[in-house]
Chains A and B, each alone.
Chain A
Amino acid sequence: ETGVTQTPRHLVMGMTNKKSLKCEQHLGHNAMYWYKQSAKKPLELMFVYSLEERVENNSVPSRFSPECPNSSHLFLHLHTLQPEDSALYLCASSRQNGSPLHFGNGTRLTVT
Chain B
Amino acid sequence: KQEVTQIPAALSVPEGENLVLNCSFTDSAIYNLQWFRQDPGKGLTSLLLIQSSQREQTSGRLNASLDKSSGRSTLYIAASQPGDSATYLCAVQYGNKLVFGAGTILRVKS
A42 touches B31 (CB 8 A): no
Complex Cα spacing A33 to B36, Å: 16
Task: Report the count of interface residues on A (CB-CB < 8 A).
Answer: 28
Q: How large is the interface on B (under 10, 10 to 19, 20 to 34, 35 or more residues)?
A: 20 to 34
- B59: chain A residues within 8 A (beta carbon): none
Cβ contact within 8 Å between A56 and B103: no
Closest chain A residue, CB of each to CB of B95: A97
Q: Is B93 close to A, CB under 8 A?
A: yes
Contact of A43 among B41, B89, B93 (CB under 8 A): B89
Q: Which residue of B lies closest to A41 (CB)?
A: B102
With A43-B89, A90-B43 known as contacts, the answer to whether A98 contacts B51 (CB < 8 A) is: yes
Interface-facing stretch out of A11-19, A64-72, A73-81, A101-109: A101-109
Q: Is B65 an interface residue (CB 8 A)?
A: no
For A2, give the chain B residue with the smallest CB separation. B43
Q: Which residues of B contact A (CB under 8 A)?
A: 4, 31-32, 34, 36, 41-46, 49, 51, 89, 91, 93, 95-103
30 A-B pairs whose Cβ atoms sit less than 8 Å apart in the complex:
A2-B45, A4-B43, A6-B43, A31-B96, A40-B102, A41-B102, A42-B4, A42-B100, A42-B102, A42-B103, A43-B89, A44-B100, A45-B99, A48-B97, A50-B96, A56-B96, A97-B31, A97-B93, A97-B96, A98-B32, A98-B93, A100-B34, A100-B49, A101-B44, A101-B46, A101-B98, A103-B43, A103-B46, A106-B42, A106-B43
